[in-house]
Homo-oligomer: A and B are copies of this chain.
Amino acid sequence: MAGVNKVILVGNLGADPEVKYLEGDNVVANLSLATTEAYKDRSGNRVEQTEWHDLELWGQQAKIAEQYLKKGSQIYVEGKIKSDKWTDEQGQNRKKVRIRVLSFTMLGGKPEGMGPSSPQNSSPQSKPATAAAPSGSDKMVMDDADDDLPF
């Protein structure tokens, strides 16, 4: 029977996106996202707990991440948990958990270099200012409906 595997995160990037252009016109971006939680311990002291998440974005989303996200960016992420399993050199079973991002939204207002007043022309994916201006903000939510990676 069909299941549900859904992850929702709001946090900040610990580093700029790492983007790789693969053969066959595929692109993947890896992001490291921190979600921080604050609570009081038994002594009443404030404690911060940070969890680091490995995010993986594909296709058009990866390109948008490359273009608009950077170290420190705050984003809303929706995705699913996806793990890779292998056997390491010691013959041990290993498992790496990642978040496969299905959509994300930039938070906290327009990033620098975006929008009509300051088009971002230096990026590899840059577009004419006139294109970036009217259509810029709706790119901030990206579904990967159009990429070809069902898993």
- A residues sitting closer than 8 Å to B (CB atoms) are 1-12, 34-42, 46-49, 51-53, 74, 76, 78, 80-83, 90, 97, 105-110, 134-135, 137-138, 140-141, 145, 148, 150-151
Contact = CB atoms under 8 A, between A and B. Distances in A.
Contacts of A141: 2, 37-38
26 contacts: A1-B12, A1-B36, A1-B74, A2-B36, A3-B34, A5-B9, A5-B37, A5-B51, A6-B8, A6-B9, A7-B8, A10-B76, A38-B137, A39-B138, A39-B150, A39-B151, A41-B150, A46-B138, A51-B80, A74-B108, A76-B76, A81-B81, A90-B90, A107-B108, A108-B108, A108-B109
A2 B108 contact: no
The 8 A-B pairs with the shortest beta carbon distances in the complex, nearest first, are A108-B108, A38-B138, A3-B35, A4-B10, A97-B97, A39-B150, A2-B141, A5-B35
B150 A10 contact: no
A131 B18 CA distance: 40
B7 A6 contact: yes
Nearest to A149: B39
Contacts of A3: 9-12, 34-37, 105
